[in-house]
Structure 1
Amino acid sequence: MYSRVAKEEAKTYKPNHMGILQEQAVEVTSTLSKDKPLIQNLIILPCHSIFAPELNTKITNHNDEDTFAIGKDADNWIMESFQLESDDHLSFFKHLELSLVELHENIANSALVISGGYTKSSIEKSESSSYLELAEAVGLLKNPYFKVGTNILLEEYARDSYENVLYGICTFYKKFRRFPAKITIVGFGFKRERFLSSHLTTLGYYILPNVDNDELSMSSLPNTKHVKYVSAGPFLPAKPAGLTETEYEAYKDEFWGSLYKNERSKALDLFKSNPFGSNKSILHDKKLKRDPWNKREEVYSFYQTESDVLNSLVEIDKFDIKNAWNIYQKKVLPEFPLYE
């Protein structure tokens, strides 16, 4: 499986100089403010890092003809060591582009939520606001029907992928007073199973295929009427001059094998034990480490809505798995499906 996926995704990154995002307008019959009742679908862009060129102390002479140079410069991103190996900032940039393409192609009935909290101690800046800053810096928001605050919204509290989805739904609900009919996620291909088989299933948007759990794989998790997953990256660097083709193929197999192994042990298995990542779990401990600015104290009040089911899902984070399950079964499950 790894070699097949590697061949599909281990490509040199080539940004799309997308006229549809930089120059062209979309023909719609009325303004977005009047179309607000038509916004039914949610696009979620889960963030993975912070774009922070203000912290870059290196002097870099970017090619003036390369519109996207500032985003392709790894020194403008705050990244972990494992993200550097596969130039993950290029994937982050690609995810941003693709999420805006999704919005462009569904402009009359969709809203984009860029989701990511204040996860780095080196700067009090949210992941989501930094992605928006990048989009503005490289001209991806020139489409006159892209309206920040109307169909492009920021979610600034998420600390993991489950919260990307849950808080993304909360953000949509607060704005439009309804649950989205369809959710589109733009992210890494290897995380597709996590989002579909765990997060979107837990939140009632995805129904798992009728197969044995051991047979679940990305290929057995299709998009549905209510869920779409758009995959991009990681993008492995081109073959170094010093490696033979055989050595490079071995490197790719090892990279992808390790990637999927870690995804299984450090995410899928943990969410299987506690799908909410709630209190007294390894996942909850990770979330605390990703909250150096103690923003979690604001979450429960910020995401209080008219929806009892959303309020319950947000507050579940406070409880251990036994009590979390009791709340989920009594207050959440009976309300599914949330969409109309």
Structure 2
Amino acid sequence: MPESSSPKVVCEERALDSYSNVLLSLIQFWQDHGRAWPEQITIVSHAFKRERLVDCHCGAIGFPLDRVNFIGIDPPGMADGTNEAAAKGVVEAVTQWLEDPHGKGNVLGGKRKKRNPWGISQLLFSTEEDRKRSGVRSEIREDGQEYLSEGSPQPWSYNN
């Protein structure tokens, strides 16, 4: 980041899809802010991505939806519905995430793999000590990918 950037701005640089944007940003917050989970999150994105980001991703990772703020601004053609191809893509993306909430399958997992030609680690934590200290329940699969344990409560699900 440029030196003139505010120290309050932190970039998460490893995410390969919108799900990872949400999850890895939570992990980054925990690492950068005294090992505490955020009480609430605010997502700024295109308005048409609200359902995917809030309902699908925050729902899948177990972040309480009443603690999620969303600010959405649509590009031209989306708000008025004139971009039919894009609108169809929005529905397709939401459907894929509803069917595969953590992106483990061939379609969504395959997209992640294609977006990572440099082999950037997708592990949630860089050390086993941090993983344990965080309280995050996850599993590392044979392919080296780490996923949240489905059905397990996560530490951000509770008030700090």
TM-score scaled by length of structure 2 = 0.79
Counterpart residue number, 1:272? 98
CA spacing shift, 1:232–1:253, aligned 2, 3 Å? closer
Alignment of 1:250-329 (within 5 A): 253-255=81-83, 257-265=84-92, 267-278=93-104, 280-296=105-121, 299-302=123-126, 304=128, 305=130, 306-309=133-136, 312=138, 315=140, 327-329=149-151
CA spacing shift, 1:300–1:194, aligned 2, 3 Å? closer
Counterpart residue number, 1:161? 18
Alignment of 1:1-340 (within 5 A): 132=1, 141=5, 146-147=6-7, 151-176=8-33, 177-207=35-65, 224=66, 226-235=67-76, 253-255=81-83, 257-265=84-92, 267-278=93-104, 280-296=105-121, 299-302=123-126, 304=128, 305=130, 306-309=133-136, 312=138, 315=140, 327-329=149-151, 332-333=152-153, 337-340=157-160
CA spacing shift, 1:227–1:318, aligned 2, 3 Å? farther
Preserved contact between residue 187 and residue 230 of structure 1 (Cα < 8 Å): yes
Amino acid at match of 1:273: E
- 1-structure distance, mates of 2:54, 2:48: 11
Structure 2: state its 5+ residue gaps: none
Identity of aligned residues (%): 25
- 2-structure distance, mates of 1:299, 1:334: 16
SS in 1 for 2:43: strand
CA spacing shift, 1:178–1:316, aligned 2, 3 Å? farther
TM-score scaled by length of structure 1 = 0.40
Structure 1: state its 5+ residue gaps: 1-131, 208-223, 237-251
SS in 1 for 2:71: strand
- CA deviation profile, 1:31-78 (whole Å, cap 9, x unmatched): xxxxxxxxxxxxxxxxxxxxxxxxxxxxxxxxxxxxxxxxxxxxxxxx
Amino acid at match of 2:46: F
CA spacing shift, 1:157–1:319, aligned 2, 3 Å? closer
Shift, 1:281, TM fit: 2.5
- 2-structure distance, mates of 1:158, 1:336: 19
CA spacing shift, 1:318–1:268, aligned 2, 3 Å? farther
Amino acid at match of 1:165: V
- 2-structure distance, mates of 1:160, 1:269: 15
Amino acid at match of 1:272: L
Select the structure of larger CA radius of gyration.
Answer: 1
- CA deviation profile, 1:4-28 (whole Å, cap 9, x unmatched): xxxxxxxxxxxxxxxxxxxxxxxxx
